Structure 1
Amino acid sequence: MSIIHVNNSQRLNKELVAMQQQQALNRYMERSKEREQTVKDLQTKNPFEVGKPERVIFRKSRINPRNGLALERIIRKNDLFPISYLEAGLKAAKPICRIEVRDSIGRVLGYGTGFLVSPSLLLTNNHVLENEEAALFSLAQFNYELDLNYKERESKNFRFAPQRFFMTNQKLDFTLVAVDEVSGSGTHLSDFGYLPLKPQKGKALEGEHVSIVQHPSGAPKAIAIRENKITDIFEDFVHYETDTLEGSSGSAVFNDEWEVIALHHAGVRNPNDPSTFIANEGIRISSILQYIMEHYADLSDEQRKFLDYLSRGWEFTDKKREDILVEDLGLDWYKGTTGYDPKFLGSEYEVPHPTLRPDLEQDIALLKNGSKELDYTHFSIVMSKSRRLAFYTVVNIDGAKLIRLKREKKWHFDPRIDEKYQCGPELYKNNPLDRGHLVRRLDPVWGETAAKANKDTFHFTNCSPQHKHFNQKTWLDLEDYLLHHAENFNLTGTVFTGPIFRSDDMIYRGVQIPADFWKIAVIVKKGSGLSVTGYLQSQKNLINNLEFAYGKYKTFQVPIVRIEALTGLDFGNLRNHDPIGQLESTIGLVIDTFEDIIL
């Protein structure tokens, strides 16, 4: 068996290719044990049983209901295809081209592969077209293939137009570049069509087979069809094996529906025999598109027009946000508000406020009447003077009475404490920082006072600066899970949430931005009393550069005592009801899916 890998013997930047191959090998080795278990699972189960639930659900949704053999094919019960599969493959191969990499005086430096993803944009590897200058002198050669008589068809050469659109990233090893609409011979680029890209994850499962259309070593177009099994899926990358000859950088990796799932870019060398390869690596299309979405706001209006076809159905988050509307509610709004109820779960399960370490106690921003807790509808908050953010929040949730209401548009300072202890709109304007709700907006919105609770969550006291990708994805995944179970099973619960204050937290606009956040969920399990679980998530790799941050993060279920040590809060008896309270690990349990949570 020979493994498809990147042939760069003619490329100048060999150091970059070597680095990418080493990174691919590192990822391969890190997953060795997990991959061995997955292989064993796939020998006894089908990919739908082995894959992550959300990925499996999306994968099934991609299958045409008229394709009755598709499910059986994925679980390896049947390898039959409709004859139209070959026709669809020919159509998918048409937008794929050879890239002839040239220097400024026309010398050929090497070859790669690329493919059109819109009527005017082409996708390839960063190490094929590293910069605008490389693209300016290189050619996209379409129709470079053999006909039925094994004679070369007439290829069509197109110039790149990097001055009109060029986006590249070395970490994800991709380049997206504009192509001239007409070739030197008068052929229109539109004659070759394009491959639409889908931003959703889950377009393939471990154990499934993929096909790769390529220009191997710069030769006429070829295909490695279906003899390429996916062996591992990472956050940004996918590994697969194949029985074929050398391939080319920038090839399109397809699933059986001829959807592009990855951009091929590197081979994984055998650490015991560097002359052979043990796997291949592609960059997940979902990760590339996520990067493009995140940098959409950095583009000019003319550049954005190039993404019109590519981005249909996408959701962009623009860093140039609308002005934050601020409303003064007046002191009368807060009259009669009792806040968090410690006996909400029952008098026998009283859950009091945590106590603060003596030095933190001195840092509490007291209300003008001298009390410590800011009481809102169904939740309460204790604020820090020095950090101008909450030490913690705590909320009562009644799953049987939850009401879905629309988001408020206005935010509020709380007049019961000095405004200087509250971070207002000046912190969040024109950057990727979200006003991250600490008490989730939906949690206290239940019962007759739901509307008041909904508005109460839009206080600056209830938000903490969170990078938009942390707030909109990571934390919400966990909050959705907790709320879903409360709502579906009519549960009542208590949830504590807050940031972790560290002395070395980054200072931005005069505010130290917390890098980590914690959450403690308290429920009553039938027949076994309280169950208390703690969670920790970090946005540290997202806030190092607030203007251009990009990264991934993990969720951990951690012992309550670890949260206490990190925050200086004492939750008293709650730690005795923690199912992982005796866990020896100082990190905790990684939560990849919510089935990993121990209640």
Structure 2
Amino acid sequence: MYDEEFLGIRVPLPRATVPGELRELAYPRFTVLLDTRRRLARVTGVNVDGATLLDLPREGEWRLDERVPAAAQTGPELYARNDLDRGHLVRRRDPGWGTPAEARTAMAATFFYPNAAPQASAFNQSKDLWLGLEDHVLEYADATDQRISAFTAPVLADDDPVYRAVGIPRRFWKIVAWADASPGGRLRAAGFVLDQSELLDVSEGALTVAPLGGFRTFQAPIAHVERLAGIDAGPLVDADVLPRTTVRGEAAWRPLRTVDDIVLR
């Protein structure tokens, strides 16, 4: 399960601040807070030890978690015969560290459906950027022991378009946290938002994915991510590396085109 002491600084798993039917599911080195009404994760948290990450072959088949009723999680029927991908929230490689046996067990656990969220298959370069955010922070944190904690989930909005009785998230959020190289290690964190709104259309009752356009990726104040996602991010708000701003709303978000646009200090 997610370890809140992993960074040497206590970082609790963010908690939902909106009403919901929530179930906490522990897996090796990560935790999923599942909203059983929406059938998708409200929060995920994973510990990543970059110093002992293993590059193992991709193994695993998506499967339901038997601890939760099938009706409380999205299953294969949502992704059949359409342009939706099963998007890992906790990335397959993130918990894959330590001994080979430990890494294989943890990586296989990322294929439980509570750790999946529907993402349009028509990704452009923004997908590579989104998936590379944690790697970029690991490289930046190389001056310490290469440990990070990452939190990711869809934004479960009330007006998400409904497809096959599931609200399809238009946005995803991510917060990455690490301890810097200062004496004692100071908590630092960065928040991000990915928007797939321009790709999804269910206006005719069926899902269509635009062939052009793409995801837009932003670095956003963690205080904004908190409100957008309906979570309490605890100490991560004060640890934000983005300078504080009085700018309201999305005008304060920083568009990202490459990792060079990311602010980490």
1:36-435 paired onto structure 2 within 5 Å: 339-346=1-8, 349-357=9-17, 359-360=19-20, 363-364=21-22, 366=23, 373-435=24-86
Counterpart residue number, 1:567: 229
2:199 equivalent to 1:547:
no
Q: What's the secondary structure of 1:400's corresponding residue?
A: helix
Residue 552 of structure 1 deviates from its aligned partner by: 2.3
1:454-493 paired onto structure 2 within 5 Å: 454-470=107-123, 473-486=125-138, 489=142, 491-493=146-148
Counterpart residue number, 1:41: none
Residue 476 of structure 1 deviates from its aligned partner by: 3.6
Q: What's the secondary structure of 1:411's corresponding residue?
A: coil
Residue 499 of structure 1 deviates from its aligned partner by: 0.7
Counterparts in 2 of 1:582 and 1:484: CA distance versus 1, 3 Å:
closer
Asked if the contact 2:201/2:208 (under 8 Å) is kept, the reply is: no
Counterparts in 2 of 1:597 and 1:484: CA distance versus 1, 3 Å:
closer
Residue 459 of structure 1 deviates from its aligned partner by: 0.6
Q: What's the secondary structure of 2:19's corresponding residue?
A: helix
Counterpart residue number, 1:521: 176
| Letter aligned with residue 169 of structure 2 | P
Unaligned runs of 5+ in 1: 1-338, 367-372
Asked if the contact 2:32/2:115 (under 8 Å) is kept, the reply is: yes
Q: Of residues 74, 85, 105 in structure 2, which corresponds to 1:452?
A: 105
Residue 531 of structure 1 deviates from its aligned partner by: 1.1
Deviation by residue 1:396-436 (Cα, 9 ceiling, x = unmatched): 00001001112224112111111111100000011110000
Asked if the contact 1:402/1:487 (under 8 Å) is kept, the reply is: no
Residue 495 of structure 1 deviates from its aligned partner by: 0.4
Report the Cα distance in structure 2 between the residues aligned to 1:432 and 1:408, rounded to whole angstroms.
23
Asked if the contact 1:560/1:581 (under 8 Å) is kept, the reply is: no
Counterpart residue number, 1:219: none
Residue 543 of structure 1 deviates from its aligned partner by: 0.9
Asked if the contact 1:400/1:487 (under 8 Å) is kept, the reply is: no
Q: Of residues 173, 191, 214 in structure 2, which corresponds to 1:534?
A: 191
2:92 equivalent to 1:437:
no
Q: What's the secondary structure of 2:51's corresponding residue?
A: coil
Counterparts in 2 of 1:548 and 1:485: CA distance versus 1, 3 Å:
closer
Report the Cα distance in structure 2 between the residues aligned to 1:495 and 1:481, rounded to whole angstroms.
10
Q: What's the secondary structure of 2:93's corresponding residue?
A: coil
Unaligned runs of 5+ in 2: none
Report the Cα distance in structure 2 between the residues aligned to 1:378 and 1:409, rounded to whole angstroms.
17
Asked if the contact 2:136/2:259 (under 8 Å) is kept, the reply is: no
Residue 358 of structure 1 deviates from its aligned partner by: 5.3
Asked if the contact 1:496/1:521 (under 8 Å) is kept, the reply is: yes
Counterparts in 2 of 1:473 and 1:463: CA distance versus 1, 3 Å:
farther
Report the Cα distance in structure 1 between the residues aligned to 2:36 and 2:10, rounded to whole angstroms.
28
| Letter aligned with residue 126 of structure 2 | T
Q: What's the secondary structure of 2:59's corresponding residue?
A: coil
| Letter aligned with residue 396 of structure 1 | N
Of all paired residues, the percent bearing the same amino acid is 39
Asked if the contact 1:475/1:537 (under 8 Å) is kept, the reply is: no
Counterpart residue number, 1:23: none
RMSD (Å), alpha carbons: 1.8
Q: What's the secondary structure of 2:130's corresponding residue?
A: helix
Counterparts in 2 of 1:548 and 1:514: CA distance versus 1, 3 Å:
closer
Report the Cα distance in structure 1 between the residues aligned to 2:95 and 2:209, rounded to whole angstroms.
34
Aligned positions, number: 249
Report the Cα distance in structure 2 between the residues aligned to 1:451 and 1:547, rounded to whole angstroms.
36
Report the Cα distance in structure 2 between the residues aligned to 1:460 and 1:575, rounded to whole angstroms.
29
The structure whose Rg is larger is 1
Q: After TM superposition, which residue ranges in structure 1, 4 or more long, deviate above 6 angstroms?
A: none
Q: What's the secondary structure of 1:391's corresponding residue?
A: strand
Report the Cα distance in structure 2 between the residues aligned to 1:555 and 1:394, rounded to whole angstroms.
20
Q: What's the secondary structure of 1:469's corresponding residue?
A: coil
Counterparts in 2 of 1:402 and 1:536: CA distance versus 1, 3 Å:
same
Q: Return the TM-score normalized by structure 1.
A: 0.40
Higher RCO, 1 or 2 (CA under 8 Å, sep at least 6)?
2
